[in-house]
Amino acid sequence: MKLKSIIVMVLVIVMSGFITNAWAADKCPKIGVVSVRKIFQDCKRNTKYRQEMTAERDKLEAELESLSKDIDASKSKLKMLKPGSADYLSGMKDVFDKQGSLQAKQEYFKRQMDLREQTVIEQLFKDVLKATGEVAKNKGLDLVFEKSEPDLPASNSNELTLTISTYKVLYTAGCEDITDAVMAKVDANST
C-alpha cells in the first residue's frame, strides 16, 4: 500500500510538471509593440494630409484677410461721412454686417478644420488598428502594446500627470517592434 501511494505520488508530481510546462508554454504569449505616435507623425498619409491642410488653411486665411481689409476700407470710408447722416448709418450697417460675416466665417472655418482633422485622425487610427492586427497575425503575435515614448519634460504638472497616467508600457525588451511594418501597411493601403 505504501509503495502504491509513493508511485501514485511520483506520477502526480511528474504529470503536474508536464501539465505545468505545457500550460506555461500555452500561456506565454508572443508580444509585440507599436508606436502609434511615430506612425501618426511619419506615415505618408499624414504628411499628405498636413500638406493639404496647410494649403487649405492658407487659402482660408487669405479669404479672411481679404474680408478684414474690406472692413478696414469700409471703416475708412465711414470716417469721411458725417455722423448721423443716412450715408453714415448705411456705411455703419455695412461695417457691422461685414464684421459679423467675418466672425461667422472664422468660426465656421475653425470648426470645419477641427472636424476634418478629427475625421482624418479617427480613420488613420482605425487603419493603424487594422494593420496592427494583420501584421501581428502574420508574425504570430498574441498581444501588441502601444509603446510611444512620453513627451518629457512636460510643460506643466497637469500635462505630466496625464503623461504618467496614460503611459502604460514601461519596458519592452524582447518584444518585437512592428511599428515600421504597420506603417508600411497603412501607407500601402492609403494610396
Question: Do the strands 143-146 and 31-34 form a parallel or antiparallel pair, or are they unpaired?
Answer: parallel
pLDDT band at 71 (very low <50, low <70, confident <90, very high): very high
Q: Can you name the residues that pair with 33 across neighbouring β-strands?
A: 145, 177
Q: Which residues contact 152 (CB under 8 A, 6 or more apart)?
A: 160, 163
Q: Is the pLDDT of residue 25 over 70?
A: no
Report the pLDDT value the prediction gives residue 94, as an integer from 0 to 100. 92
Report the pLDDT value the prediction gives residue 169, as an integer from 0 to 100. 79
The alpha helices in the chain, defined as continuous H runs, are 2-27, 36-42, 44-79, 86-139, 157-166, 179-189
pTM (global) more than 0.75: no
State mean pLDDT over 131-138: 94
Peptide bond into 153 cis (omega under 30): yes
Q: Is the pLDDT of residue 102 over 60?
A: yes
How far is Cα 160 from Cα 166, in angstroms, rounded to an integer? 10
For the chain, the first-to-last Cα distance in angstroms comes to 76
Report the pLDDT value the prediction gives residue 97, as an integer from 0 to 100. 94
Report the pLDDT value the prediction gives residue 11, as an integer from 0 to 100. 43
Distance of alpha carbon 172 from the chain centroid = 22
Q: Is the pLDDT of residue 23 over 80?
A: no
State mean pLDDT over 9-34: 60
Least confident span in 2-6, 121-125, 129-133, 141-145: 2-6
Report the pLDDT value the prediction gives residue 10, as an integer from 0 to 100. 46
pLDDT band at 127 (very low <50, low <70, confident <90, very high): very high
State mean pLDDT over 85-92: 91
